[in-house]
Copies of this chain bind each other. A is one copy, B any other.
């Protein structure tokens, strides 16, 4: 893959508003697998240096998203272990295979997580969510034929809620679709709130799309359980908090005006004390948030 090609992929990942952290991490791994297989190189040492550099640039592209950094770091770690492999074509195959295995492990984690999530929520529930998380969608898929109903917020500015509503509609799952401003009117109609995470801090606090914090606070106020589903490689490894990415003001679709500063901060941190349970591929960890509202498992 030539540099202009890589730059264009990098730009897509940088500007991507459609996919969550896990999906983008898997796309990075797939991209690196393709580079490992096809990039021009004289020897394995030169190719490894190139891939190492490109993996670093991919990880920096989405700093709020822990799995991008974590999975790429795991991959670089595996490459470093194979530093003595001098056969270029063998090295290519190994580097690509490791990337694809990590992407597959990430998908398996979502599968395992969705089974735990479905067992925790149980059949016949009304679940409220915010933004579009592929992990939350996997839990909904596991529950779609057992009486699930979903309350979906539109999630401005780009309204990922619309795509979620479309998918649920295709599955024939009844959806109540609301503006973000109506959160407070609808949270008490849910048996639980379920959101994904872009990163999970060491203390269990949740980095997720803006609007998650007020939804968690409303859930606590109305005694509705607030669940977070999140694979284990979403754990933030840094010592500081991740930066909260701010996107282009133009996404709000408002004309520029003198004295008016349009803000578009994508992520916010919801404190661990409002979380009723974390769902990962390893199982359920209970928190101090509201308990289960209506009986259940």
A122 at the binding interface (Cβ < 8 Å): no
> Does chain B have a CB within 8 A of A2?
no
Chain A: residues with Cβ within 8 Å of the partner, total of 48
What 0/1 pattern do residues 137 to 173 of A give for CB contact below 8 A with B?
A: 0000000000000000111110100100110110011
**CB interface residues, A 187-213, toward B, < 8 Å:** 209-211, 213
Instruction: Give the interface segment out of A8-16, A27-35, A66-74, A174-182.
Output: A174-182
Given contacts A185-B268, A257-B165, A257-B166, contact A263 B176 (CB under 8 A): yes
Query: Are A154 and B154 in touch, CB under 8 angstroms?
Result: no
What 1/0 mask marks residues of chain A from 115 to 155 whose CB sits below 8 Å from any chain B CB?
A: 00000000000000010000000000000000000000111
| Interface SS of chain A | mixed
Does A4 have its Cβ within 8 Å of any Cβ on chain B?
no
State whether the Cβ of A287 lies closer than 8 Å to any Cβ in chain B: no
A169 touching B260 by the CB < 8 A rule?
Answer: yes
Q: In the complex, which residues of chain B have a beta carbon less than 8 angstroms from the beta carbon of A177?
A: 252, 254, 260-263
Top 8 nearest A-B pairs by Cβ distance? A181-B211, A184-B213, A156-B179, A169-B257, A175-B260, A180-B181, A180-B180, A184-B214
